[in-house]
Amino acid sequence: MERVDYADTFIAVAEDSQATQGTVPPRKPENPSIAARSYRLIAEHPYRFTSGDVLFTVFADRQEIPEEEREAARTEFYAQSRACLRSSELGKRYGWGIHADARGRLALYGVETPEYAEFVSGRQRSDSGKSITLTAAMRSSRSRS
């Protein structure tokens, strides 16, 4: 796993998010945003990709890296520190909680769904019976002291 991957973890919507439901990020056909690209990968393929897969695929697609060069490009990409999905607009702005299963594979849950409520309640268990780690997306604004 790359340093950006999670396992048995739920990333809840940021504390300061205004979202009341999961909303699909707007998609500009000519140049989709990072959030739109990430959403599409995870929503169209629940529990298929890890955080590392999503972050690198979005980067590689935006940079138009050819398929045959992606393995080397991925190694180079992760040679530097990278932000994780806690900093994604999916959880900060668009109302999506992100669940990583025991293998680190991701799925999205709208903040308005019963599944989301179950995850944030702390009662949800992994397939192995362990508690799922609950964390939150990063705040959009700095807290005022």
**Domain parsing of the chain, residue ranges:** 9-136
Q: Which of 32-41, 65-74, 113-122, 123-132 is least confident?
A: 123-132
DSSP 19: -
Task: Return the SS3 of 31.
Answer: coil
pLDDT for residue 144 is more than 90: no
pLDDT band at 47 (very low <50, low <70, confident <90, very high): very high
Unique residue bearing structure tokens 């138009």: 64
**Arithmetic mean of pLDDT, 59-74:** 95
Span 85-141, pLDDT tens digits: 899 999 999 999 999 999 999 999 999 999 999 999 987 777 777 789 999 999 886
d(CA 54, CA 58) in angstroms, rounded, equals 6
pLDDT band at 2 (very low <50, low <70, confident <90, very high): low
pLDDT for residue 52 is more than 80: yes
pLDDT value of residue 1? 47
Q: Which of 1-5, 128-132, 140-144 is least confident?
A: 140-144
CA atoms within 13 A on the CB side of 69: 9
**Arithmetic mean of pLDDT, 37-45:** 97
Name residues whose C-beta falls within 8 Å of residue 50's C-beta, 6 or more positions apart in sequence. 1, 2, 5, 100, 103, 104, 105, 106
